[in-house]
Structure 1
């Protein structure tokens, strides 16, 4: 029995070691990019104060005024796709277009809420945070299954986290002894063991949610077996001509939810032969959001029913991002991105030290 237990421990030690060493070139940058994205909004405000220099928080202009100002700032190179309203923040119009070389571009126009004056225009894909988002999602190689690769890295990190708990567990079952700082004479080993134990469960959770996001279709299919999920439906191409203007579409939506405020308005899209549809998200007094579809021709408003599976899917994303979960979990998710590089370094040092000890023992062993 002891020998089989030792063999099992050696197996998981090798798995833990080689996952950490072999995949370090990907796990380290993915973890660091994730850590930076946890505080995206705070860091962006610090690095780009001009785009957040609003003169007030009141949405004083009609939606069309913000869109017109954005179109003027963008010129003919891009077309707005949606407009976002956040309390105490600039109004943001997001647009899509192509560069002179034909590569896709996503541009964000930041506008002052009271005046609709343009504060700044950002080329999202060319920005630092745009790069971090794309790298963390698909390694900037979506055409080479980059998103799936990130998903498999999540599988490796999940296995590494759970195997780390197994390897940390004291062999004599003395749990409290395992929590001591000085389990060995090596500072590297003590750092690896103690910090690894405390972050292992949160890191496993973040890794698991990352797997779901890395394989979105498979994840939704699996989720639909235990909870109803709204089928993904395409919204078609942007409508070139509409019967309603943005102000009228928003008025129809707000008439159905008089106590709500606009959160996001997606410009009308439609499939050939069908009436264009405006997709509008509104925010109630408790901070919850509701999505409404406004028929461009009839002006009818249809609430989008949120299934329990949709809520679970949203929570999975929030847990992974560290958003909507309070400052404590946000800090924990940050540590889940900061500590893996430390584990990689300390783990490699522990491995090299172990190899050196074995080499020394072999040299000192008397020849037969």
Structure 2
């Protein structure tokens, strides 16, 4: 989440003195964009990277990379391969590949209590290796969601940015007259302030839909963090405890997948959970739109060869559906890689808005100081650079965000050492 700071429209060089309301919106817009800029830019940047965090892990870890093949290994074969390769570890879940060149990923519990990822080639069923649990996806998720702070503190702190985000969206529409004409306006490069103002507005108008979306979903996260969440979905009873050490039978798992495909042909299985020799839970995507995989789930008794329970996203109430929609809309996980990369580009535009808004403030101050110096006859006296002026303009707010980000660095280093 981030807060854009749309600059004044190109037809106005200063807020109109006769329009007190417009000047008020401009002052509010500038105040939010400057005072909260350090925190907002950081949250915006981490959110942008979080949309492609699995791709980052794919680049970092060769274990996650595979070459597409003509055949596909079954869920049972992949499960058996993981349990054979790491017999002393407990399989908690197995997820389908993120894309065609990604390995399937298993979450394994170590005897001492930690977790690691185990990767298996979905085409030949061979284990490619294991990697740390604390990868790029986990780092970016925990950072963007709650700054690695305790959840009761970090989640409300980050999600509260949805309120100033919404204010900057509304104020920008008041400030930028006839904003709908700006989608194809070419930035003018005759002066730095005009150039960056035009870039700021251009990025802003193309981001309006995304700003509204992030503000709404971020607002929902704030409601959830303050106790207004929909609560967990109904549990599906399994005949054995959720986590056991006995390995599952590959043929029994494949039989379960085939049986469920007949009972619920629309279900596209994306993961296995609570896998044991007696039972397992399968989830994925079906008829319900904009829900997480866990909204559609089936419990299966491997020994009795029967379904123990089913959860269908279409049966959820309005409150629960809103909760399910938030993540797919916020991170763009509902439409494959084209949507994820569109969200990444839109997030980059929000980061640009934060940075250019601060730069514009510095340019305004620099221009004002230069004009004052010329009026005093000191035309050769140049003020400090624009970023220094912006840093000074943040005043005491910078001493709130800088220590907070230092705490995040300390928590990150501690987590990396523990991993």
TM over 0.5, yes or no?
A: yes
Query: 1:317 and 2:327 equivalent?
Result: yes
1:35 maps to 48
Task: Please list, as runs of the form range in 1=range in 2, the aligned pairs for 1:1-368 lying within 5 A after superposition.
Answer: 6-54=19-67, 56=69, 58-60=71-73, 63=76, 65-71=77-83, 73-74=85-86, 76=88, 78-86=89-97, 88=100, 89-97=102-110, 105-125=114-134, 127-143=135-151, 145-169=153-177, 176=181, 180-181=185-186, 186-216=194-224, 221=229, 231=233, 233=235, 238-240=242-244, 245=249, 247-248=251-252, 251-252=255-256, 254-258=258-262, 259=265, 262-268=269-275, 278-281=280-283, 290-295=296-301, 299-301=305-307, 302-306=309-313, 307=316, 309=318, 310-325=320-335, 329-358=339-368, 364=375
Distance 2:237 2:163 in 1: 32
Report if aligned partners of 1:249, 1:299 keep a CA contact under 8 Å in 2: no
TM-score if structure 2 supplies the norm length? 0.66
Local SS of the residue matching 2:312: coil
1:71–1:154: structure 2 CA closer, same or farther, 3 Å change rule?
farther
CA contact (8 A) 2:103 2:120 kept: yes
Change (3 A) 1:168 1:254: same
Q: Distance in 2 between matches of 1:28 and 1:205?
A: 17
RMSD between aligned alpha carbons?
A: 4.2
1:256 and 1:234 map into 2 onto residues whose CA distance is 15
How many Å apart are 1:135 and its aligned residue?
A: 0.9
User: Per-residue deviation at 1:312?
Assistant: 4.6
CA spacing shift, 1:97–1:50, aligned 2, 3 Å: closer
- Normalized per residue, which structure has more strand? 1
TM-score (norm 1): 0.74
Deviations 1:248-275 (A, max 9, x none): 3552453142356643111259xxxxxx
Do the aligned partners of residues 41 and 188 (structure 1) sit closer, same or farther apart at CA in structure 2, a change above 3 Å counting?
same
**Alignment length (residue pairs):** 343
Deviation at 1:82, TM superposition (A): 0.8
CA distance in 2, matches of 1:202, 1:251: 44
Native 8 Å contact 1:263 1:281 kept in 2: yes
Q: Is the 8 A contact 2:145 2:158 kept in 1?
A: yes
C-alpha distance 72-149 of structure 1, shift in aligned 2 (>3 A): farther
2 CA distance for matches of 1:248 and 1:178? Answer: 57
Report SS of the residue matched to 1:238. coil
- Matches of 1:98 and 1:161 in 2, distance apart? 50
Q: CA deviation at 1:107?
A: 1.8
Greater relative CO (CA pairs within 8 A, separation 6+): 2
Alpha-carbon separation, structure 1, partners of 2:182 and 2:205: 13
C-alpha displacement of 1:10:
2.8
* Distance verdict in 2 for CA 1:295–1:145, change over 3 Å: farther
Change (3 A) 1:231 1:92: closer
Instruction: Output the CA distance in 1 between the equivalents of 2:56 and 2:117.
Output: 17
Q: How far apart are the structure 2 equivalents of 1:155 and 1:235?
A: 40
- Where does structure 2 lack aligned partners over 5 or more consecutive residues? 1-14, 377-419
Distance 1:120 1:314, change over 3 A: same
Is the alpha carbon distance of 1:3 and 1:161 closer, same or farther for their aligned partners in structure 2, counting shifts above 3 Å?
A: closer
